């Protein structure tokens, strides 16, 4: 199992005043954490894509390229690229260039995104949500497989045999499909034979097993070998020196972040009882000391029928740079060896 970290490049803020850290300083610290993850032997680091004030990841390939210059072994991926609101030609070019800069360490996870801001920002209609993604995914796969592309669709001008450059080092280029909880998305990924990255940020992890079974069944029915149908898990989490320390560190910022998101989506404020449920044995959060985190990862993997990659998103809880650096060290020196 590969172990990694996903980040939305969130700039820490003061819980009382709401004042955010200087953006340049926040990016500098993020690059320090990616470099540290590489030195600690973690397998992958992902950068999300959002177009909101509280996140600095609107151009993930730029951040990943800066990280490529400071790292040697760790794989660098998006988490996720919002393909519905992007031009597949530019997505391919950006990540092919990242592959060259990193000497073959780039990947991309593409999805539809969990926020809607990108649609009006780039001139798309949210009601076309699924249709846009399916069309653009088809074009992206076409570009990955062909240097010269002939293609036509509804949401982008046609391509009439143009060459798409540069070409990446890796062939095929590693592309994952990022999904939430829509059955059709799991089936689509299976039919295409693409690896699946499942974002489970709440509730109970085992509830996603029927959806993952749908993915595997669709892939096998489409003729893809079972070993090609890899499943990764994106989960909110954090590793502290002890279980009690981790929970006490993570809860305040987690509650603030998801209470704020809840105001937009009609969710109730986060309570300690809610947090205890999602951080408990069956819940989706992976928060604890190294031993507790290992136990929960193993439970998640068993519940989902086996996972190939786990990526923890730790910067959703407004933790300090120092605590995140320590968590990365614990992941690399304690959690990963215990899992192996």
pLDDT tens by residue, 74-83: 999 999 999 9
Owning domain of residue 220: 2-339
How much is the average pLDDT of 166-176? 97
> What pLDDT, on a 0 to 100 scale, did the predictor assign at position 71?
98
How much is the average pLDDT of 144-173? 97
> What pLDDT, on a 0 to 100 scale, did the predictor assign at position 112?
82
pLDDT, tens digit, 9 for 90 and up, residues 114-130: 677 777 888 877 777 78
> What pLDDT, on a 0 to 100 scale, did the predictor assign at position 100?
98
Nearest to 61 by CA among 74, 42, 44, 48: 48
> What pLDDT, on a 0 to 100 scale, did the predictor assign at position 299?
95
> What pLDDT, on a 0 to 100 scale, did the predictor assign at position 262?
86
CATH code, domain with 181: 3.20.20.30
Mean pLDDT, the chain, integer: 93
Tell me how many domains the chain contains.
1
Cβ–Cβ < 8 Å for 158, 151 = yes
Measured CA to CA, the distance from residue 196 to residue 308 in angstroms comes to 10
> What pLDDT, on a 0 to 100 scale, did the predictor assign at position 119?
77
Confidence of residue 30 (pLDDT cuts 50, 70, 90): very high
How much is the average pLDDT of 53-66? 95
Measured CA to CA, the distance from residue 340 to residue 337 in angstroms comes to 5
> What pLDDT, on a 0 to 100 scale, did the predictor assign at position 173?
97
Q: What percent of the chain has pLDDT over 90?
A: 81
pLDDT, tens digit, 9 for 90 and up, residues 186-221: 999 999 999 999 999 989 999 999 999 999 999 999
Q: Which residues contact 109 (CB under 8 A, 6 or more apart)?
A: 46, 77, 78, 79, 80, 81, 175, 176, 177, 178, 197
Q: Which residues contact 97 (CB under 8 A, 6 or more apart)?
A: 61, 65, 166
SS3 per residue for 104-132: CCEEEEEECCCCCCHHHHCCCCHHHHHHH
CB burial of residue 272 (10 Å; 0-12, 13-18, 19+):
exposed
Measured CA to CA, the distance from residue 53 to residue 275 in angstroms comes to 25
pLDDT, tens digit, 9 for 90 and up, residues 31-56: 999 999 999 999 999 999 999 888 99
Helix boundaries (H) for 193-320: 209-221, 243-265, 272-278, 290-303
Element (H, E) at 162: strand 159-163
Helix boundaries (H) for 150-201: 183-192
pLDDT score of 18 more than 80: no
> What pLDDT, on a 0 to 100 scale, did the predictor assign at position 271?
93
pLDDT score of 312 more than 90: yes
Confidence of residue 15 (pLDDT cuts 50, 70, 90): low
What burial letters (b/e) apply to 225-249, b meaning 16+ CB within 10 Å?
Answer: eeeebbbbbbbbbbbbeebeebbeb
pLDDT score of 139 more than 70: yes
Angle subtended at Cα 186 by Cα 104 and Cα 194, rounded to the nearest 5 degrees: 25
> What pLDDT, on a 0 to 100 scale, did the predictor assign at position 56?
94
pLDDT, tens digit, 9 for 90 and up, residues 218-255: 999 999 999 999 999 999 999 999 999 999 999 999 99
pLDDT score of 5 more than 90: yes
Cβ–Cβ < 8 Å for 148, 161 = yes
Three-state DSSP class for 58? coil
């Amino acid at each position: 199992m590969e172990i990694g970290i996903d980040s939305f490049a969130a700039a820490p803020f003061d819980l009382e005043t709401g004042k955010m850290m200087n953006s340049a300083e926040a990016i500098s610290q993020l690059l320090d954490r990616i470099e540290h993850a590489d030195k600690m032997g973690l397998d992958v680091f992902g950068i999300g894509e959002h177009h909101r004030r509280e996140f600095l990841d609107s151009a993930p390939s730029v951040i990943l390229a800066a990280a490529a210059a400071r790292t040697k072994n760790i794989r660098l991926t998006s988490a996720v690229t919002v393909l519905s609101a992007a031009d597949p030609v530019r997505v391919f070019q950006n990540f092919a260039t990242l592959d060259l800069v990193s000497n073959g360490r780039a990947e991309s996870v593409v999805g539809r995104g969990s926020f809607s801001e990108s649609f009006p920002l780039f001139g798309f209609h949210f009601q076309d949500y699924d249709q846009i993604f399916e069309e653009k995914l088809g074009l992206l796969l076409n570009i990955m497989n062909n240097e010269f592309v002939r293609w036509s669709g509804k949401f982008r001008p046609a391509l009439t045999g143009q060459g798409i450059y540069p070409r990446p080092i890796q062939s095929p280029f590693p592309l994952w499909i990022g999904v939430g909880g829509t059955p059709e998305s799991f089936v689509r990924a299976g039919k295409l034979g693409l690896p699946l990255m499942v974002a489970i940020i709440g509730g109970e992890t085992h509830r996603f097993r029927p959806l993952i079974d749908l993915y595997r069944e669709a892939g096998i029915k489409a003729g893809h070998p079972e070993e090609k149908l890899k499943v990764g898990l994106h989960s909110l989490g954090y590793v502290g020196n002890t279980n009690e320390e981790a929970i006490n560190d993570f809860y305040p910022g987690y509650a603030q972040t998801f209470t704020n998101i809840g105001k937009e989506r009609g969710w109730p404020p986060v309570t300690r009882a809610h947090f205890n449920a999602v951080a408990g044995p069956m819940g989706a959060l992976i928060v604890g000391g190294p031993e507790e985190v290992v136990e929960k990862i193993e439970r998640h993997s068993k519940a989902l029928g086996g996972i190939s990659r786990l990526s923890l998103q730790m910067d959703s809880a407004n933790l300090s740079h120092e605590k995140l650096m320590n968590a990365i060290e614990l992941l690399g020196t304690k959690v990963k060896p215990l899992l192996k």
